[in-house]
Each structure stands twice: as structure tokens, then as C-alpha cells.
Amino acid sequence: MRVRSILTRTLTLVSASVILATAMPAMAHAQLVDFLWGGDSEWGGQRSVVRFDTKYRPGQLIASFGDRRLYLITKPGTAISYPIAVPREQSRWQGRLNVTQKRENPSWTPTPEMLRENPRLPAWVPGGHPMNPLGVRALYLGSSTYRIHGTDAPWTIGQAVSKGCIRMYNEDVLDLYPRVPVGTVVTVTWERFKTGPAALETASTPPSTAGGKAANIGRKNVTRTKTVSVQ
């Protein structure tokens, strides 16, 4: 009897979910998905084209941890805005780096710090695995351990949960990846930006901005600044 009762309740819940999904208006469904996956138009949300500060040059990337958005400048005053997950409180940082490597379906190896926090983590996850934390694409920043990458946990986008990396929806990192050549300048900041809707456009692939420069990574509330050599 108990098994029959459990099965009956399970079937009832499944049926109710199907009815809700088919009856729910498209707008309400989108709002529910945004809520469950960590976003509205400010925290999380969708990719969009926005007006942006004209001091940044086309081809530059600006990761605003304050906005929880990654901006790719497509032309003066215009950017593509991507929702991101940002570092948790104890992993905060900022600085200016270059993209030094690009990887499709990257493998993942936990850092020593990650293993200290959670010794049960796998020592290695192959590229393309559905539970690979880097998702389907990764952009490597300078000689640091930081990446701009996809995710196996899309519900975290819009949240302060990462160990320092910039986490994106897989569909967004697939859109970003061909637009960003090795050498692209990436500014990581806690500054918030005033943006607004811009005319929809298809951004062209930006030119390479490669160059051997030094990047300063300053962790918030820490006086000492770490200097990273960018190749």
C-alpha cells in the first residue's frame, strides 16, 4: 500500500508539472526559468546589446563583478552584455589581463585550494564530460588560474559562487568564443556601469590586441598587489 501511495503521488506531481508547463504563458515561463537559474534583468537574465562607456575600445572585454555582467565592446559606445557568475566573498579580485589561451571542451583539474576545501573532488575531469565545471569553452587569463568559461551548473549564473573564475552559460560562451582572439585585453573590476538598450546588431570578430604586458591583480581589502606576467 505504501509503495502504491508513493507511486500515485509521484504520478500526480508529474501530471501537474506537464499541465503547468503547457498552460503557463511564455512570458511567465521565461520569468520562472530566470528565477530558478539565478537571474532577472540585473542578476543573471539574458544576453543583450547595450550602450556602454565610450572610453573602452572595440574588442576589449570588461568583467564587472558589481554588475555581474561581462561586456564585449563591439564598437565605441556599444557592447554585448553577458550574465555571469562572479567570485564568492573570499575569492574576490580585480585587475587587467590578456587572454593567453583558448580551449574547446577543456579538461578540468582542481586547484590545491579546491582540494583542501573538498578532498572528495575528482583529480581530473575530461573535456566534454557533462559534469565538467569549465563547460564547453574556456578563455585563459594571463598566467593566472582564472578563466572565462562555461558551466555544468547554469542555475548559478548571476550568483557570487565561483572560486575566482568568470562563469557563463554554455550558449553564451559559445557566442563569445569566436569573437575573442588570443591577446584580447580583459579588465576585471567591481565598478558598476550605466547601460541601456542599444540597437540589435551582429558584432564582428574584434582584432587581436596581443602584447606582452604586466597585469596587476589586486584582491579587495588586501594592500599587497600581485603582479602577473602576461605572455
Q: CA angle at residue 13 from 7 to 19, to 5 degrees?
A: 135
Going by C-alpha positions, the residue among 58, 54, 53, 52 that lies closest to residue 73 is 58
Give the whole-angstrom CA distance, residue 73 versus residue 78: 6
Read off the C-alpha cell for 223.
594592500
Residue reference for cell 573535456: 127
The values of phi and psi at residue 90, to 5°, are -80, 0
Tell me which of 137, 147, 149, 167 is the catalytic residue: 149
Distance CA 144, CA 167 (A): 16
N-to-C CA span, the chain:
68
Distance CA 76, CA 79 (A): 8
Q: Which of 86, 165, 168, 198 is catalytic?
A: 165
Does the annotation mark 149 as catalytic? yes
Q: Please, which residues bridge with residue 197 across strands? A: 50
Residues marked active site are found at 149, 165
